[in-house]
Amino acid sequence: MKWIAYGLLATAAMTGTAWGHGSGNDNAGKKPARAVEETAFGRAGDAKRVSRTIHIEGRDNMRYTPSAIRVRQGETIRFVVANRGKLLHETVLGTRRELDAHYELMKKFPDMEHDEPHMVHLKPGQTGEMIWQFTKAGEFYFACLMPGHYDAGMMGTIIVAPARRSP
Ligand SMILES: [Cu+2]
Protein backbone atom coordinates (compact mmCIF):
# COMPACT_ATOMS: atom_id res chain seq x y z
CA MET A 1 0.00 0.00 0.00
CA LYS A 2 1.13 3.46 -0.85
CA TRP A 3 1.78 4.72 2.64
CA ILE A 4 4.05 1.75 3.34
CA ALA A 5 6.03 2.50 0.19
CA TYR A 6 6.38 6.12 1.23
CA GLY A 7 7.69 5.00 4.61
CA LEU A 8 10.37 2.84 2.97
CA LEU A 9 11.41 5.64 0.62
CA ALA A 10 11.66 8.09 3.48
CA THR A 11 13.86 5.65 5.40
CA ALA A 12 16.07 5.10 2.36
CA ALA A 13 16.46 8.83 1.84
CA MET A 14 17.46 9.40 5.45
CA THR A 15 19.97 6.54 5.38
CA GLY A 16 21.40 7.87 2.14
CA THR A 17 21.99 11.24 3.75
CA ALA A 18 23.82 9.61 6.64
CA TRP A 19 26.12 7.62 4.34
CA GLY A 20 26.82 10.56 2.11
CA HIS A 21 27.82 12.80 4.99
CA GLY A 22 31.42 13.92 4.78
CA SER A 23 32.42 11.65 1.89
CA GLY A 24 31.70 14.00 -0.97
CA ASN A 25 31.00 10.96 -3.19
CA ASP A 26 27.61 9.92 -4.30
CA ASN A 27 27.91 6.34 -3.08
CA ALA A 28 24.23 6.20 -2.32
CA GLY A 29 23.55 6.14 -6.05
CA LYS A 30 25.25 2.74 -6.37
CA LYS A 31 23.10 1.09 -3.78
CA PRO A 32 19.77 -0.44 -4.71
CA ALA A 33 17.04 2.16 -4.29
CA ARG A 34 14.98 -0.19 -2.19
CA ALA A 35 15.69 -3.64 -0.79
CA VAL A 36 13.40 -6.34 -2.16
CA GLU A 37 10.96 -7.14 0.58
CA GLU A 38 10.45 -10.81 1.38
CA THR A 39 6.80 -11.64 2.03
CA ALA A 40 4.99 -14.78 3.19
CA PHE A 41 4.34 -15.64 -0.46
CA GLY A 42 7.61 -14.62 -2.14
CA ARG A 43 9.10 -11.42 -3.42
CA ALA A 44 9.21 -9.07 -6.38
CA GLY A 45 10.96 -10.89 -9.23
CA ASP A 46 13.84 -9.77 -11.41
CA ALA A 47 12.81 -9.45 -15.07
CA LYS A 48 16.19 -10.94 -16.09
CA ARG A 49 15.48 -14.13 -14.14
CA VAL A 50 12.00 -14.95 -15.42
CA SER A 51 11.71 -18.71 -15.90
CA ARG A 52 8.18 -18.80 -17.30
CA THR A 53 5.34 -16.63 -18.51
CA ILE A 54 1.84 -17.48 -17.35
CA HIS A 55 -1.21 -15.86 -18.91
CA ILE A 56 -4.28 -15.17 -16.79
CA GLU A 57 -7.60 -13.84 -18.03
CA GLY A 58 -10.25 -12.24 -15.85
CA ARG A 59 -13.88 -11.87 -16.88
CA ASP A 60 -17.06 -10.22 -15.63
CA ASN A 61 -18.46 -13.59 -14.54
CA MET A 62 -15.93 -13.15 -11.67
CA ARG A 63 -13.76 -16.01 -12.81
CA TYR A 64 -10.15 -16.33 -13.85
CA THR A 65 -8.80 -18.62 -16.52
CA PRO A 66 -6.87 -20.62 -15.51
CA SER A 67 -8.15 -20.81 -11.94
CA ALA A 68 -5.27 -22.97 -10.71
CA ILE A 69 -1.55 -22.51 -11.34
CA ARG A 70 1.34 -24.71 -10.32
CA VAL A 71 4.88 -23.44 -9.96
CA ARG A 72 8.04 -24.66 -8.30
CA GLN A 73 9.67 -22.93 -5.36
CA GLY A 74 12.35 -20.53 -6.57
CA GLU A 75 10.71 -19.89 -9.94
CA THR A 76 10.31 -16.33 -11.17
CA ILE A 77 7.07 -15.98 -13.09
CA ARG A 78 5.99 -13.25 -15.46
CA PHE A 79 2.21 -13.03 -15.12
CA VAL A 80 0.52 -11.47 -18.11
CA VAL A 81 -2.96 -10.61 -16.93
CA ALA A 82 -5.75 -9.58 -19.28
CA ASN A 83 -9.06 -8.01 -18.32
CA ARG A 84 -11.52 -9.52 -20.81
CA GLY A 85 -14.53 -7.84 -19.22
CA LYS A 86 -16.29 -4.50 -19.25
CA LEU A 87 -15.65 -3.82 -15.55
CA LEU A 88 -12.50 -2.84 -13.70
CA HIS A 89 -10.67 -5.88 -12.39
CA GLU A 90 -7.43 -6.40 -10.56
CA THR A 91 -5.23 -9.31 -9.67
CA VAL A 92 -3.46 -9.40 -6.33
CA LEU A 93 -1.16 -12.20 -5.15
CA GLY A 94 -1.05 -13.26 -1.52
CA THR A 95 -1.92 -15.63 1.25
CA ARG A 96 -5.59 -16.08 2.03
CA ARG A 97 -5.15 -14.15 5.24
CA GLU A 98 -3.51 -11.17 3.56
CA LEU A 99 -6.07 -11.07 0.79
CA ASP A 100 -8.92 -11.20 3.33
CA ALA A 101 -7.39 -8.30 5.27
CA HIS A 102 -6.70 -6.29 2.13
CA TYR A 103 -10.27 -6.86 0.95
CA GLU A 104 -11.68 -5.47 4.20
CA LEU A 105 -9.61 -2.32 3.61
CA MET A 106 -10.81 -2.08 0.02
CA LYS A 107 -14.42 -2.17 1.20
CA LYS A 108 -13.77 0.61 3.72
CA PHE A 109 -11.74 2.73 1.30
CA PRO A 110 -12.89 1.87 -2.23
CA ASP A 111 -10.78 4.67 -3.72
CA MET A 112 -7.62 3.51 -1.96
CA GLU A 113 -4.74 3.86 -4.37
CA HIS A 114 -1.99 1.34 -4.18
CA ASP A 115 0.50 -0.17 -6.50
CA GLU A 116 2.87 -2.94 -5.51
CA PRO A 117 4.81 -5.57 -7.47
CA HIS A 118 2.31 -8.27 -6.50
CA MET A 119 -0.73 -6.54 -7.98
CA VAL A 120 -2.10 -5.22 -11.27
CA HIS A 121 -5.18 -3.07 -11.78
CA LEU A 122 -6.77 -3.32 -15.19
CA LYS A 123 -9.31 -1.27 -17.06
CA PRO A 124 -11.66 -3.15 -19.42
CA GLY A 125 -9.66 -4.68 -22.23
CA GLN A 126 -6.33 -3.80 -20.64
CA THR A 127 -3.39 -6.18 -20.14
CA GLY A 128 -0.77 -5.84 -17.42
CA GLU A 129 2.22 -7.69 -16.06
CA MET A 130 3.72 -8.60 -12.76
CA ILE A 131 6.95 -10.46 -12.11
CA TRP A 132 7.06 -12.46 -8.93
CA GLN A 133 9.45 -14.98 -7.43
CA PHE A 134 7.92 -17.76 -5.35
CA THR A 135 10.50 -18.31 -2.63
CA LYS A 136 8.26 -20.37 -0.37
CA ALA A 137 6.41 -23.61 -0.98
CA GLY A 138 2.72 -23.76 -0.15
CA GLU A 139 -0.70 -22.73 -1.33
CA PHE A 140 -1.23 -19.13 -2.31
CA TYR A 141 -3.87 -17.20 -4.18
CA PHE A 142 -4.49 -14.56 -6.79
CA ALA A 143 -7.67 -12.58 -6.43
CA CYS A 144 -9.64 -9.56 -7.53
CA LEU A 145 -10.28 -7.35 -4.51
CA MET A 146 -12.71 -4.99 -6.20
CA PRO A 147 -15.70 -4.70 -3.84
CA GLY A 148 -18.08 -7.57 -4.55
CA HIS A 149 -15.70 -9.46 -6.84
CA TYR A 150 -13.78 -11.26 -4.11
CA ASP A 151 -17.04 -12.26 -2.40
CA ALA A 152 -18.26 -13.60 -5.75
CA GLY A 153 -15.25 -15.91 -5.84
CA MET A 154 -12.94 -14.07 -8.23
CA MET A 155 -9.92 -15.97 -7.05
CA GLY A 156 -7.51 -18.66 -8.19
CA THR A 157 -4.94 -20.86 -6.48
CA ILE A 158 -1.19 -21.00 -6.90
CA ILE A 159 0.40 -24.20 -5.65
CA VAL A 160 4.12 -23.82 -5.09
CA ALA A 161 5.85 -27.20 -4.99
CA PRO A 162 9.00 -27.50 -2.87
CA ALA A 163 12.27 -26.98 -4.74
CA ARG A 164 14.00 -30.10 -6.01
CA ARG A 165 16.91 -31.09 -3.85
CA SER A 166 20.24 -30.92 -5.59
CA PRO A 167 21.90 -34.36 -5.90
CU1 LIG B 1 -12.82 -8.24 -10.57
- Residues near ion ligand 1 (CB < 5 Å) are 89, 144, 146, 149, 154
> Which pTM value belongs to this model?
0.78
**How far apart are the CA of 92 and the centre of ligand 1, in A?**
10
33 C-alpha to ligand 1 centroid (Å): 32
Question: What does DSSP assign to residue 163?
Answer: P
Output the pLDDT for position 28: 45
Nearest to 75 by CA among 48, 41, 42, 51: 51
Cα of 35 vs centre of ligand 1, distance in Å, is 30
Cα of 78 from ligand 1 centre, angstroms: 20
Provide the residue count of the chain: 167
Residues 77 and 75: their CA atoms lie apart, in Å, by: 6
In tens digits, the chain (167 residues) has pLDDT values of 444 443 343 333 333 333 333 334 444 445 455 678 899 999 999 999 999 999 999 999 999 999 999 999 999 999 999 999 999 999 999 999 999 999 999 888 877 777 899 999 999 999 999 999 999 999 999 999 999 999 999 999 999 999 987 66
Q: How far is the CA of 116 from the centre of ligand 1 (A)?
A: 17
DSSP class of residue 47 equals G
Residue 58 has, within 13 A of its CA and on its CB side, a CA count of 34
pLDDT value, residue 32:
52
CA of 89 to the centre of ligand 1 (A): 4
Q: How many angstroms is it from 61 CA to the middle of ligand 1?
A: 9
Q: How far apart are alpha carbons 114 and 91 in whole angstroms?
A: 12
Q: What is the pLDDT of residue 167?
A: 65
Distance 155 CA to ligand 1 centre (A): 9
